[in-house]
Structure formats: C-alpha cells, structure tokens
Structure 1
C-alpha cells in the first residue's frame, strides 16, 4: 500500500487521467473477452451444426440401405466417410476417396455420437468432426463428417490483431482527451488560486475571476468572492473601530493630563476639590468606555448563543434604559409583550426626548455614532450603547430596531420565545 501511495500521482489532472484510463482499460478488456468468446462460440457452433446436419443425412441413407459409394457434400461439410465395424471405408466424399480412415470416433460407452476438433488431413485448417453410429442392413457403421474451422480461426486472428492494435490506440485517445478536458476544467481553478495568492491585508478589494460556465467552479468562485466581501467588510469595520476607539480614548486621557498639569502648575489647595472631581468624572468616563470596548470585543469573538430560556430583564434592559435616561426630558416607558403568532417576545423602551430622525434610524446602531455629539459627550456617552444592544440581540437570534414615535425615541427588541412558552 505504501508503494501504491508513493506511485499514485499527486496532481488532480494526472489522477483523473489515470483513473479514467484504468476504468476504460478494464471495461474494454472485459468487453473484448466477452466479444471474443461469443464470436468464437458462434463460429464453432455453426461448424458443428453443419457437420451434424451432414452426418444425419448420411446416417438416414445408411439406415435405409441406400448408401452410395460416392457421397455428395452438402450443408457446408468439408469431407464425409462411412466406416464399418471392421474399420473399412464403405463410402466417402470425392475429396477423400481412396484415403484410409481419417478419424477414429471418440465415442464413450453407451453413446452413438461424438464431436471434436482436429486436423485429419493436411489442408492447413482445423476441422470440426462429428461422428455418429447407426445400424444398417449390413451391420453397424460410423459416419464421420468434418467442417473446416478456417472461418473461426481467421476470425480469432483478426479479432486478436484488432484488439492488439486498437486497444492501446483507444486507451491513448482516452488518456489524451481526459488530460485535455481535465486541464480545461481546472484552468479556472488555477486562475482562482493565483488570484487568491495575491490577496493580502492591503489588497482585500481584489476578487477571483468567475468563469462564464455555470458549473461547480463558478459556484466556488462566487462563494469565495462573497467570503472576501465579508472579510473586507470585517477588516474595514475593525480598522474603523480601532480608529474611533483611539479617538474616544484620547479625549478623556487628554482631559486628565490637562487637569494634572493645572494641579501641578497651581498647587492651590482650594482648587483641588474641583480638579479631583473633574478628574474622577473623566476617569469614570474612561472606565465605562474601556468596559464597553471590552464587551464589544467579546461579542465580536463569540459564537451565537444556544437557544436556552433567558430572563429578558437581565438580558436587555441595562443599555436600553441608560440610553433612554440619557436622552429623555421627563419620562421613560418600558413595555414587554409577546407576539404568539410570530413566536416573539417584544421589548419596547421609549422616552420623551428629541427622538430619532427617520434618516438616522439605522445609523444610531453604528458604533461611536452620536446624533448630537457635543450633548452626548457632556452626558458621558460614547455612542456604543445601542450598538452593544443590537449585538446582544443578534447573539440571541433576535433583532433591534428604532421605530417611529411622535413623542420621542422608541427602541424595540424582537427575540424568539422559548419553545416551552405558550
């Protein structure tokens, strides 16, 4: 087995060619053997039938006592001899007149007919000989009739030569055609491979060529391009996320540094409470931002959670309520209901704040998005709350949308109900 694995080609093109050629060779060998056997058996049967018909005709004449000395040839037989029980030739066909007994019957005890092949006289071809015994008014005689197997031998030689020359030619043709067809079929794969080899982190815009033929290779190319689209989108989002996070972290760090520099430049104890209070606020803002960034990183790396029963209050209320409280003027409302027809739990959090314009209902779920940037910074928001909430909803196979409300903002979460719930 190790030798077979060592000799087995590694190229798909070579393996396909070798496999196809081997299958055709086996099929052709089996078909050739069957054809040769059928042809040989048919010609042998025809010769045997001709000799049998001749012996039956002569046997009937001998049994009636009408046996002539010179026997006519018919039914395609090549010679006829009638021999008595003492081995004397009583009658024969013209071509064997005067010759001694050409063949001796190989009759088994209790039988009256025998068939075999041989070369009774030198005409260069084997004979199919049939011998039959019969009783005549003058005693028992044996009738010998022979039919030449020249046609069978010639057919055997021609078939053998044809297969000997034709089989290698046919196998070579199969190998060449398979090699060409396989190479043509794999050419797009090589184009895809070479293009993928050129794609790097700085060239994610490149795509593999899609063959014109609508086959499996084209499906592979389209799937690979779709994968590259997702990969490029993920990398772009990651780069934007890093840039936005760096920008957000820079502001509180810069503010802390400024406050510490002011404290060092003006060591007045009367200013310290205000400086410490401002530094503490920036530190809390920095801590919250770091926590949100860590949570987003964990959500991006996590697989979708399994569909197990969850407490909806523990799962979603925190970020949505924080966002509503930050933007509300006087009122925040929370509603939880079920939609049995859609098998969904529906969570609504609304406030009486400035609301969300129609054009920004999707943009508010993007990371680091602020509709009112200055106001959001003063309140400590980094524009990550709704993005985190949507990611959590997606992790639980649900959705989160901003829906129209005439009195403010309304955020609605749709989550699948547990199978055990009505």
Structure 2
C-alpha cells in the first residue's frame, strides 16, 4: 500500500512508531556503550589488581610456577617475563606458551594496557592485557589479561533492550493511532453531515464539538459558510423568480399583440402595432441591460479611475436628464473623488431617476465633505439625494437594494422602473470603496452615498 493512500491515522501511527523506534535504538546504543565503557574500566582495574598481586611476589622473590599464589576469585591468565623476554611463570592455562604480548610500559609509567587479539588465548577472543614492570635484578614484566566485554555486555541485557524497544514502539504507535482516531471522530461526523447536505436541504448544519480546539473552529467556519451559501442560494432563487416574473409581463404583452395581429392581419395598422409593441421591447431591453450591468459589477470588472470633482459630475449628469420635478442643488466644489466617470455618472443618474419616480414635487441634491463614519478614516465625499415623497420604512430600507424589489409594484411598473436601478447603484458605490444607504429624514427618502476622498 502506498503511503499517500493511507489514512491520517495510519500515517501518523507509522511516523510515530518509526520515530520512537529510532529513538529507542539510539537510546539503547548509547546505554550499551556507556555500560560497556564502565564495565571495561572496572575489568581493567581487576586485571591490574591481579598483576599487582603477582608483581608483589616477584618483587620478594617468591615466584612459583605455575601461578598462583593468587586467590581463586582473582584467577586470570597471568605471565611473568624475565629481563631476557622469557616466560618464567604462568597460570596453568598458559603453561609452555610464549608471551601473550610484547609491549611494555613507557617510562615514567610502570603500568600499561592494550587490547590484544589473535594471540595465544584459546578462546579466540580479544583480551585486555595489562603490563606491569617490576624491578627485581632487572626489568621483569608481569602480563595479566581478561577477555574483552562484548558490545551487548550480557545477552540478557540485549534481549531486554530489544524487547523493550519493540513493546514501547508498538504501545506508542497504538496510542497515537487511538488518540488521533478519537480526535478525528468530530471530523468524520462533519464529513458525514456534509455528504447528506444537498442544494435542496441547506438548513442542516454540521455538529460542533464541545472542545474549544481546531476542529471546533473548523466546524463553526463550515456552518458559517453554509449560512452564507444558503443566503446566496436563496437570493439566487428569489432573483430567478423575480426575473422570470419581470420578463414574463412584457413577453406576454408582445405575444398577445402579435397573436391578435396574426388572427386579423388585414385589420392591423403596422405603425400602431409597432407603437404598441415597442414599450414592451424597451422594457425587455432595460431589464437585459440592467442584468448585464449587475453581472459585470459582481464579476469585479476593473475600473478606469480618474480624479474628478463630484459637484461638477453631478451638474453634468443633471443636464442629461429631462427633469419633471423641481431640483434644489447644494453642490460644494472641491470635493474630489477617484473612480470611473461612466459608472459614477450612472450611479447618480439611477438615484435621480428613482427620486423623480417617487418625489411629490421637489428633489434636493447635496454634495459636501463629511466625517464621523467609522468605516472611513477621516473625511469622506458625501452625495445626498432627498425627495419629498412617501419615503421608505425602516424595515424595508435594505429590501429596496435587492434586484426587482418594489415597495409599490403597480406604481413602479407604471413609472417604467425595472427594479434594478438601486441594486446597480449600490454595486457601483461598493466597487469604488464606498457605501450607499438610506438615512433618516423628516420626509421622503434620503439616499446617501459616501466615497473616499481623492488625495
């Protein structure tokens, strides 16, 4: 099985087991080396003690062959070599054998040690050999030896460390897998719940674990994302429904007029038919154009920015409209903004058209500098469009910025509104880093645009 195909539990357990196993092997190796070094040091001291005892008898001329006199608990391979290099005494296991080593202590030292291999020892193992010089009618040398200690010290110690490493590695790997399995149970529950959530049932939410950990935050983020997704899909359904309703009315009117003309072609005046159909076509064109503009704004089409005076832009836009209501202007000069002139002109035009549809007699347009908005640092450019109409209730102020939303459907249709002007205006303001809201006013509807001031 390839590693990338394993679950997180398996990979983490494998990684933990390998790391713990390597650490245990490293620890065991260091421990064995430390114990071996200490045991070798102690063994060298014992071998040296045996040689010192033999050297004592050599120094007093009490040398006998075979050796001892040496206590039974200290018997080691020992040889005594005279100044001519001849072995004159040895323990029973080295009788009639040549010298086990040929090195001697270097002055001023009287004792030297070395590891000797492939010598006269019958075991075939390497030995620790200690050479001691004795001055008795010349330089005599006493060699004492003992087999070197193997790396693993004792087989039991090696077996214990191997068993401990295996058991500890398995236990840690199992514990890691068990811990990860328990930790990932909420993730499995989240995944299972997400698998059951369909586009027709977005009201379901994933379970949020009680522990305040990363999975808790993940579950909350998933639920917040589902909330936003549900809102977006609900807006999309409502938008499709409203768009279908808006498009159906002019299409139905055109169809009815065309069917009437088809039934009685001789009684139809072509000019009157065109005059009757043209308003519906214009309405369809207006809706299609508005939907295209909304789509482009939502897609984030780049802006062609330039610096302009907001008062001059408002004045120029008012000249392009046939105003059927009285317009009061309070346009402060020097309020400059940076943005797309065409889109900002469309924003102003949409608000003016909306005010004309709903104003009783007067529209007041104000351009000024303003501050006090926590969403903007320092001063902002503010454009206010106020009409003296019926106004907008507090609970409906956000609804008017939804596509095809109307507070008075019959009156809006008769006035020619498609229900897309205010949503487009808000999208334009937001694409310029600003806001479009409805504020309180003594009478009528007060639309307020705030845009960042240009340096």
Q: TM tier, shorter chain?
A: 0.7 to 0.9
Aligned counterparts of 2:179 and 2:433: Cα–Cα separation in 1: 46
Aligned ranges for residues 211-226 of structure 1 at < 5 Å?
A: 211-226=209-224
The secondary structure found in structure 2 opposite 1:232 is helix
Aligned counterparts of 1:125 and 1:109: Cα–Cα separation in 2: 23
Q: Which residue of 2 aligns with 1:386?
A: 422
Q: Find the partner of 1:303 among 276, 300, 305.
A: 300
Confirm or deny: 8 A CA contact 1:347 1:412 kept in the other structure.
yes
Q: How far does residue 227 in structure 1 lie from its aligned partner after superposition?
A: 1.8
Aligned counterparts of 1:120 and 1:77: Cα–Cα separation in 2: 20
Q: Find the partner of 2:253 among 233, 237, 255.
A: 255
Aligned counterparts of 1:318 and 1:276: Cα–Cα separation in 2: 28
363-372 or 152-161, which moves further after superposition?
152-161
Q: Which residue of 2 aligns with 1:139?
A: 138
Q: Which residue of 1 aligns with 2:17?
A: 21
Q: Which residue of 2 aligns with 1:128?
A: 128
Confirm or deny: 8 A CA contact 1:348 1:412 kept in the other structure.
yes
Aligned counterparts of 1:211 and 1:219: Cα–Cα separation in 2: 9
Q: Which runs of 5+ in 1 are unaligned?
A: 1-5
407-416 or 47-56, which moves further after superposition?
47-56
Q: How far does residue 203 in structure 1 lie from its aligned partner after superposition?
A: 2.3
Q: Which residue of 2 aligns with 1:3?
A: none
Aligned counterparts of 2:156 and 2:281: Cα–Cα separation in 1: 100
CA deviation profile, 1:37-59 (whole Å, cap 9, x unmatched): 22111111111133335546765
Confirm or deny: 8 A CA contact 1:78 1:145 kept in the other structure.
no
Q: Which runs of 5+ in 2 are unaligned?
A: 306-337, 372-376
Aligned ranges for residues 16-415 of structure 1 at < 5 Å?
A: 16-52=12-48, 55=51, 65-66=59-60, 68-69=62-63, 77-79=74-76, 81-86=79-84, 87-89=86-88, 104-107=100-103, 113-116=112-115, 128-136=128-136, 138-146=137-145, 155-260=153-258, 276-300=274-298, 302-303=299-300, 305=302, 309-311=338-340, 313-314=344-345, 316-339=347-370, 341-342=377-378, 344-415=380-451
Q: How far does residue 166 in structure 1 lie from its aligned partner after superposition?
A: 2.8
CA deviation profile, 1:261-320 (whole Å, cap 9, x unmatched): 5666788989877665443223222221222223223334x0375795414643621211
Aligned counterparts of 2:303 and 2:155: Cα–Cα separation in 1: 75
Q: Which residue of 1 aligns with 2:332?
A: none
Aligned counterparts of 2:273 and 2:121: Cα–Cα separation in 1: 133
Q: 1:108 to 1:132 in 2, by over 3 A?
A: closer
The secondary structure found in structure 2 opposite 1:329 is coil
Aligned counterparts of 2:74 and 2:300: Cα–Cα separation in 1: 89
Aligned counterparts of 1:391 and 1:182: Cα–Cα separation in 2: 47
Aligned counterparts of 2:210 and 2:92: Cα–Cα separation in 1: 78
Q: 1:357 to 1:232 in 2, by over 3 A?
A: closer
Aligned counterparts of 1:297 and 1:168: Cα–Cα separation in 2: 65
Aligned length: 405
Q: How far does residue 241 in structure 1 lie from its aligned partner after superposition?
A: 0.7
Confirm or deny: 8 A CA contact 2:105 2:131 kept in the other structure.
no
Q: 1:221 to 1:67 in 2, by over 3 A?
A: farther
